[in-house]
Structure 1
């Protein structure tokens, strides 16, 4: 059987005698947008960190494009909850710094040209000479998005990148990311607590049971047509059943799922896939 573009195979994380999550198996196809949803403490951020190579799994392996992943690499770009910009550099210089890591032989002029082109894509061409202290929260995150996408990574990883923003800015950036990921045919993995955010962005939603001892309990296929926008999402046929299904898991079934006695039809290597 052909493996998916990204294959997560039986990873686990333990702290002493406590198992945070175990036996996590899932795949991500090339160009697919996958969201991981679950309560705090189930290990979502740890899974993202393992995918990014920022920490190793206690068990299991990760394979991308036929190669086992080990340690961080520029083929995986991360957008964090905070903007993580260098405060002494301008917006363009922050993006150019990443270009210098990927293309050490480039001149400063080449790096800055690529940086300004990346900022143009996120609507910040006019802010290239501004430092982070001169930018709004949403603009800082746009710089972070431009920096990540300018690397043309094989996979884009996002750790609740919009959680600290106001509702209007958050909605605008969600749609911006959806557009950019589609335009660049980017493979994306994102963790979120926001059900509507997952429905807006994801092709598939991974539902994680509560920790400790968390598992990926179910995969929900998002069949709502693209493009999706915040303004029209709740009018789409199928939106309400999909939202209610995910909410029911988070409110009720995530707590009832027991890692030591899972449902009869559940297997970590073949997690049930739901299409509503």
Structure 2
């Protein structure tokens, strides 16, 4: 993370219930144009953190600041790609994207909105499917429409909640590469939660590792130095890939459990331990 003031600043957020703290004292920043992945086991609060960044949930403690403004609710400055495609079934692919664009740019006329929607669909290879409704699209095509819709908003922060987890392996791999390309080309700031270690390595500049809940925390930050562009086919051949993957797998299999609960002596939530791998 570069600079004194990150573009996105997560400042000591927590989720608590009576008798249960899911996660606490979560601090991290995201620089403009950076892709950050959050990795951890189920129950550590990953989705809650993403929802707080989206403005769909409020933290019990702390705050999130994006581009100098504290998040107080949902905004088109923050676009979310969900696990499900979340398309309106009565609208065509083009109309789904156009609806989002018209909300973002209420002063635009219909021809300009339609052109922008068509361009967004072309970027994800769906020009031929623009007039189809979701029921006429495959699972991967539906997710492509969701990706086109999110990127068409040119949001300050793109949020992704395991958007490829329900897809078959081949479709998932192609979409991961597509998102990597589109986000890089747009200089888009992105935050994603995932269980897939290779997905995190393929996409992320930094990977945040969370301990198991309850009382989960960001235990370590992994700086991914593997050069871009990265592809699924070549990823495991890249020098530095295996030590990077082994480090993350070791954390998930062993250290996420042993580090759970009370932080070790000297732990600083604002500056958790960091390693650089893949270089």
Matched, 1:226 2:228: yes
| Aligned-partner Cα distance in 2 for 1:142–1:221 | 28
The 8 Å contact of residues 265 and 272 in structure 1, kept in 2 or not, is answered as no
The 8 Å contact of residues 201 and 245 in structure 2, kept in 1 or not, is answered as yes
Secondary structure at the counterpart of residue 164 of structure 1: coil
Deviations 1:130-152 (A, max 9, x none): 00000000000000000000000
| Aligned-partner Cα distance in 2 for 1:220–1:141 | 28
Q: Which runs of 5+ in 2 are unaligned?
A: none
1:14 to 16, 37, 43: 16
| Aligned-partner Cα distance in 2 for 1:189–1:46 | 13
* Aligned counterparts, 1:181-192, within 5 A: 181-192=183-194
TM-score, length-normalised on structure 2?
Answer: 0.97
What is the deviation of 1:259? 3.0
Matched, 1:160 2:162: yes
Q: What is aligned with 1:80?
A: 82
Matched, 1:37 2:35: no
What is the deviation of 1:46? 0.2
What is the deviation of 1:205? 0.2
| Aligned-partner Cα distance in 1 for 2:227–2:105 | 38
| Aligned-partner Cα distance in 2 for 1:27–1:39 | 21
Q: Which runs of 5+ in 1 are unaligned?
A: none
Deviations 1:215-246 (A, max 9, x none): 01000000111100000000011100000000
The 8 Å contact of residues 214 and 261 in structure 2, kept in 1 or not, is answered as no
Matched, 1:26 2:28: yes
What is the deviation of 1:263? 2.5
Change (3 A) 1:183 1:53: same
| Aligned-partner Cα distance in 2 for 1:26–1:79 | 21
Q: What is aligned with 1:132?
A: 134
| Aligned-partner Cα distance in 2 for 1:17–1:53 | 25
| Count of residue pairs brought into register by the alignment | 275
